[in-house]
Amino acid sequence: MAASAALTQPATAGTAADHTNAKESPGCAVVYFDLGETLIHTEDDGSIHYLPDTARQLREMRDADIAVGLITNVPPEWGETDAARAAKLREIVDADWTGAEPFAWEDFEGRILTPRTVEERKPAPALFERGEDTADGCHAVYQGETPKELDVARGEGYFTYLVGRGAPWPAYLPVPVVKAIAQLP
């Protein structure tokens, strides 16, 4: 299956019993996405819209009750908390949004992780560590367009998927694959 060849497992070793990615709550996964050039694109004129297949992917994940989040770099001075920085991000994206349907911010509520300091900006591991914490014992998946970020996420125990490769690769990790990850020990 083409999608499984692109999926990379966490950089951990050992048996199923001592595997560091084994979760206390099997049956769940949280899928984190980068934002720019993973879910949305900014045109030369500053307008912003979904990349192809994004709206469909988010709908399918919503329909399958798969939790999603964002791990994205924004200026730390946008606010003192993730919620404040996320509100500023939403304000900026919404102001220049030209997509046919609005960005699905409600899907990401409570799971928009942003750097508190310049040192926390990706590819530093800090945001991925925080994402693992907010996954509440579920398997963590990270989808993005930057190989270095995927390497760091994998080192932090995430399953990763490189988006933006074009055919024959799916734009995003298919929902059935995410469901299979959720069932792993």
What are the pLDDT digits (tens) for 93-105? 999 999 999 999 9
- Give burial (CB, 10 Å; 0-12/13-18/19+) of 172: buried
If you search the block for the tokens 């060849």, which residue do you land on? 5
In whole angstroms, give the CA distance from residue 105 to residue 96: 15
In whole angstroms, give the CA distance from residue 10 to residue 141: 9
Q: Tell me what pLDDT residue 183 has.
A: 96
* Nearest to 97, CA basis, from 145, 39, 35, 50: 50
Q: Tell me what pLDDT residue 10 has.
A: 73
Q: Tell me what pLDDT residue 54 has.
A: 97
If you search the block for the tokens 């970020």, which residue do you land on? 149
Successive 10-residue mean pLDDT values, the chain, 185 residues: 54 39 70 98 93 97 97 98 98 96 95 98 98 96 98 98 94 97 95
Q: Tell me what pLDDT residue 132 has.
A: 96
Q: Tell me what pLDDT residue 11 has.
A: 63
Strand partners, 29: 139
Q: Tell me what pLDDT residue 6 has.
A: 62
Supply 178's token pair. 């995410």
In terms of residues, how long is the chain?
185
Please give the CATH number for the structural domain made up of 26-182: 3.40.50.1000
Q: In 3-state terms, what secondary structure has residue 36?
A: strand
Q: Tell me what pLDDT residue 26 has.
A: 62
Residue type for 120, please? E
Domain positions in the chain are 26-182
